């Protein structure tokens, strides 16, 4: 699983950062990573610029993903009037 930072965008999840290749992050459990992201000063700028962001473990990397994590989220196509 990947240690990522995710933001709930209502219709989809937006993974804005992936720290899974870091040797420091890779051994962290889900709870340890969530706590690290929420409290460590090095993530303060990201937390303030991305309200509601949280650290989670995910099978996906950076991108926009469906709420059920079944695949990439695709914006609805506008309908012609």
- Residue-by-residue DSSP string for 45-66: HHHHHSTT-EEEEES--SEEEE
**Tens digit of pLDDT for each residue in 8-60?**
999 999 999 999 999 988 899 999 999 999 999 999 999 999 999 999 999 99
- Residue 4 has a pLDDT of 97
Give the residue extent of every domain in the chain.
2-62
Considering the entire predicted model, what is its pTM? 0.88
pLDDT at 81 > cutoff 70: no
């Amino acid at each position: 699983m990947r240690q990522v930072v995710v933001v709930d965008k209502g219709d989809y999840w937006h993974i804005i950062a992936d720290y899974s290749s870091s040797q420091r992050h890779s051994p962290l459990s889900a709870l340890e990573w969530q706590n690290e992201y929420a409290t460590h000063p090095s993530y303060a700028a990201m937390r303030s610029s991305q309200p509601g962001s949280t650290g989670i473990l995910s099978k996906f990397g950076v991108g926009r993903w469906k709420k059920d994590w079944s695949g990439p989220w695709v914006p609805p196509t506008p309908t012609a009037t």
